[in-house]
Amino acid sequence: MKAIRRITVRPVLPEPLRPLSRLARNLRWSWHPPTRELFAALDPDRWAAAGGDPVRLLGSVPPARLARLAADEQFLRRLADAAADLGDYLEGDRWYQQQTGDLPAAIAYFSPEFGITAALPQYSGGLGILAGDHLKAASDLGAPLIGVGLLYRHGYFRQSLSHDGWQQEHYPVLDPHELPLSPLREDDGTPTQVRLALPGGRELRARVWRAQVGRVPLLLLDSDVEENDARERDVTDRLYGGGSEHRLLQEMLLGMGGVRALRAYCRITGHPDPEVFHTNEGHAGFLGVERIRELAVQGLDFDAALEAVRAGTVFTTHTPVPAGIDRFDADLVARHFGPDAELPDVDVERVLRLGRETYPGGDQARFNMAVMGLRLGQRANGVSLLHGRVSREMFAGLWPGFDADEVPITAVTNGVHAPTWMAPEVQRLAARAAGERCTEAMLGAGDTDRWDTVAGIPDQDLWQLRGELRGQLVAEVRSRLHASWRQRGAAPAELGWIDAVLDPGVLTIGFARRVPSYKRLTLMLRDRERLTALLLHPERPVQIVVAGKAHPADDGGKRLVQELVRFTDDPRVRHRIVFLPDYGMRMAQRLYPGCDVWLNNPLRPLEACGTSGMKAALNGCLNLSVLDGWWDEWYEADFGWAIPTADGRDAAGHPAGEAGQGRAVLDEERRDDLEAAALYDLLEQRIAPRFYERGPDGLPDRWIEMVRRTLGGLGPKVLAGRMVREYVTRLYAPAAHAHRALDPGAARSLAAWKSRVRAAWPRVAVDHVEASVAASTAELGATHALRVRVRLGDLSPDDVEVQAVTGRVDTEDRITDAASFPLKPASGPDLEDRWTYEGPLTLDRTGPFGYTVRILPSHPLLASGAELGLLAVPGDATGSPAAGEGTGVVLR
């Protein structure tokens, strides 16, 4: 019989066990092994059955067992210790509290997904896990973040396989009452709701759930409430499902509803209001639109409100391909704003202009969420150095006239939360080396000195640890594979072979990630004979564990999964290569530590950062990867191997040569062939020999040394603590200062100034450049006087900066690696309304050297000279460079 209604009956804990409830509801248990061990001790079998989820565990332990524990002195002592430890964690001063300077009182962090723990499955992949790690590291550092996201009734899908290897998707219902969540309530006890006005008089309501991530609250909006019509109830049904209207409603709920939920949370709890809003990828971009609305209510016009909002907003982009960016039909967006919907008092055209693709090649009928993110955030970043460069090129059209290098998008390389991703066994070994009390500083904040202590761990211990972890993985793989085959319809009697799958002594390679085509799940199958030979090598075999989910709408991805599964089903190799369905955090936490080598072979530069290799490295697993994302930045021969790429880009990530010319390889097929061959070569000639080689002590000394270097050298770099510290000092703190400087008066005057500068700019021009330098006198180190006459139209020298720009020049006289120096106003305006600027020009490098001058808008509240996308250079007025002295000069 099917129940008509489902309710969750909460356990009543005996008084002495009450602290368990708080320990279960604060997700710190997910990265704190001692707390997990306490829960396991409660009832080891039920703990396993509950999948290591304390809330489910507490709901399943029989009252008699609880009563016994309530009288167990030893258990109660452990419980008191754990509760006191959590109390210390939540209250003490941490890194953030020790910083000088006015840091923001609160920072809101918006993301469409959060991967905190498998017990709260609200993520699809790297973006969500990164968001989870960001909150956890912020908590460890004491940074006052508030996370904001959506609660999806089905989360992302669970994956299984059909008999012939086709991906099957399941969408189990998640009951919020069974999750580690509590509803946000008004003072009178009623659950808080936020509302959005929809076209046609409809309304979208959502309740607000709160998860506690250590010190950081996470608010999740849920549209599955009785007051909503069926359509609106389904808005938060699943992650990345549905058509574009569905997605737009999700994103409006996340951004606009999210701000409303945040305001309610601060009002109810007395939490300070955020001074900085961080938009993790474009999906949450409507948060800026909502804040413009709030300011409009307070009397600011759109332009002034935009300035105030921009100042306190940080936008992080994660998408290195234009095709991957979130875009909507502008008409669809228009229907959801204006008199009949949200923001009735704002001109819809103003909203549309935020997301319009106003650059060459842009589509005016589209509303682009990344473009809106960049327009609503005064500060923006990519997620690795290489991705920063790629993003600057990709979005350069929004700052016309500026070289890609000057596009105001910086980079903060992602990191991973060590306490979550380091196996407890590795944490213990590191703690032993560093001294027990040092691990917090070491893992949380990335104290580099402590990581040096890893150097002292004896070979024997490291190798034993690696073996132990590999052994655990082998056991895990067999049990998962067994379950998968049962699901695929095999009878237990057919599955005896699984007991011999993988070998705890064989070099183990891991490959697990989502399956978009750029990640090339099946590159390893490019030459099946070669792969088979590697797997079955008589002395130096390798074994491979593969996992990954294809997006439910991506049949191409599902075909790749099937191709791989079919290969792994072959009885010749099935003991050496396996595909495990349902990749997620729980599997990942076993997989990374158990592998010896972590493989990553994306099409460079499409992996914005990649984080699984970082998690592997924290467990002493070596990386074997294309030089993309983080690996491009931190690769060293001691940490693993670089798969050479045939991507036609130079080492800096710029396209090599002009428009396809000079590109190393254009043909994707050939590129795959070359890169796969390089992968096989590395495995066969470098990696397997090193793993199996034994030194005089019977250990693979050189391998162990690489493990040690990886832990000690990469460990402190790849930490989410390092990442969050960078966000705080480089982005949040400046954004908070900018936000504070822009009170309503200042916001109005900045908006007015920008509009005046924009209007006046067509008449700003470089009129004349003179330098006391000629080709014959060009000597390294010589300083010459530069004198420039400029026209400023209705602007004054206070409104602009006139700069000399110098650098090396390429064959087409373009200045590369440019440096700019401000020139000083010397006199003006003359009778022809020109101003004279002067300054020294130092020839600071030999060889082809060029200089030019330019004029930029200048205002103390701009974060970058490129911010307005306005620039005047010699020759602008006529549209072609003026002859002779009026232009930039090249010395050869």
Q: Is 320 in the site for ligand PLP (CB under 6 A)?
A: no
Could you tell me the smallest distance in angstroms from the CB atom of residue 128 to ligand PLP? 8
Could you tell me the smallest distance in angstroms from the CB atom of residue 458 to ligand PLP? 30
Q: Is 382 in the site for ligand PLP (CB under 6 A)?
A: no
- Beta strands 410-411 and 379-382 are parallel
SS3 94: coil
Contact 250, 235 (CB under 8 A): yes
Question: Among residues 264 and 585, whose Cβ is nearest to ligand PLP?
Answer: 585
Q: Is 54 in the site for ligand PLP (CB under 6 A)?
A: no
Q: Is 610 in the site for ligand PLP (CB under 6 A)?
A: yes
Could you tell me the smallest distance in angstroms from the CB atom of residue 122 to ligand PLP? 12
At 367, the amino acid letter reads F
Could you tell me the smallest distance in angstroms from the CB atom of residue 728 to ligand PLP? 23
Could you tell me the smallest distance in angstroms from the CB atom of residue 408 to ligand PLP? 26
The position carrying tokens 């920008």 is 754
Contact 213, 143 (CB under 8 A): no
Could you tell me the smallest distance in angstroms from the CB atom of residue 608 to ligand PLP? 8
Q: Which of residues 574-593 bind ligand PLP (CB under 6 A)?
A: 583-585, 588
C-alpha to C-alpha distances, 387 to 289, 343, 615, 825, nearest whole angstrom: 27, 35, 19, 38
C-alpha to C-alpha distances, 797 to 81, 116, 860, 862, nearest whole angstrom: 65, 52, 13, 16
Question: Among residues 480 and 615, whose Cβ is nearest to ligand PLP?
Answer: 615
Could you tell me the smallest distance in angstroms from the CB atom of residue 537 to ligand PLP? 27
DSSP string, 676-700: HHHHHHIIIIIIHHHHH---TTSS-
Contact 851, 805 (CB under 8 A): yes
Residue 816: DSSP 8-state: E
Stretch that binds ligand PLP, among 123-131, 202-210, 215-223, 358-366 (CB under 6 A): 123-131
Question: Among residues 292 and 608, whose Cβ is nearest to ligand PLP?
Answer: 608
Could you tell me the smallest distance in angstroms from the CB atom of residue 231 to ligand PLP? 31
Residue from 126, 274, 593, 712 touching ligand PLP (CB under 6 A): that is: 126
Site track 80-119 with ligand PLP (rule: CB under 6 A), x = hit: ----------------------------------------
Q: Which two tokens stand for residue 88?
A: 């210390």
Question: Among residues 150 and 416, whose Cβ is nearest to ligand PLP?
Answer: 416
Distance CA 510, CA 87 (A): 38
Q: Is 125 in the site for ligand PLP (CB under 6 A)?
A: yes
Stretch that binds ligand PLP, among 175-183, 479-487, 606-614, 791-799 (CB under 6 A): 606-614
Residue from 317, 612, 619, 836 touching ligand PLP (CB under 6 A): that is: 612
Could you tell me the smallest distance in angstroms from the CB atom of residue 134 to ligand PLP? 13
Q: Strands (DSSP E) along 141-236, which ranges?
A: 145-150, 158-161, 167-170, 182-183, 193-197, 203-213, 216-222
SS3 792: coil
Q: Which of residues 523-562 bind ligand PLP (CB under 6 A)?
A: none
Question: Among residues 96 and 598, whose Cβ is nearest to ligand PLP?
Answer: 598
Could you tell me the smallest distance in angstroms from the CB atom of residue 385 to ligand PLP? 16
Distance CA 98, CA 29 (A): 25
Question: Among residues 129 and 289, whose Cβ is nearest to ligand PLP?
Answer: 129
Q: Is 413 in the site for ligand PLP (CB under 6 A)?
A: no
Distance CA 473, CA 888 (A): 63
Question: Among residues 513 and 575, whose Cβ is nearest to ligand PLP?
Answer: 513
Residue from 139, 317, 611, 852 touching ligand PLP (CB under 6 A): that is: 611
Q: Which of residues 614-633 bind ligand PLP (CB under 6 A)?
A: 615
Distance CA 553, CA 243 (A): 11
The position carrying tokens 């000079």 is 662
Q: Which residues lie below 8 Å from residue 387, measured CB to CB, with a gap of 6+?
A: 318, 320, 411, 605, 608, 609, 629
Q: Is 605 in the site for ligand PLP (CB under 6 A)?
A: no
Could you tell me the smallest distance in angstroms from the CB atom of residue 129 to ligand PLP? 5
Question: Among residues 130 and 304, whose Cβ is nearest to ligand PLP?
Answer: 130
Q: Is 473 in the site for ligand PLP (CB under 6 A)?
A: no
Q: Is 52 in the site for ligand PLP (CB under 6 A)?
A: no
| Cα 806 to chain centroid, rounded | 35
> In 10 A of CB 59, how many CB atoms?
17
Distance CA 392, CA 389 (A): 5
Q: Is 280 in the site for ligand PLP (CB under 6 A)?
A: no
Q: Is 292 in the site for ligand PLP (CB under 6 A)?
A: no
DSSP string, 387-415: HHHHHHHHTGGGSTTS-GGGSS-EE----
- Which spans of this chain sit near ligand PLP (rule: CB under 6 A)? 125-126, 129, 513, 583-585, 588, 610-612, 615
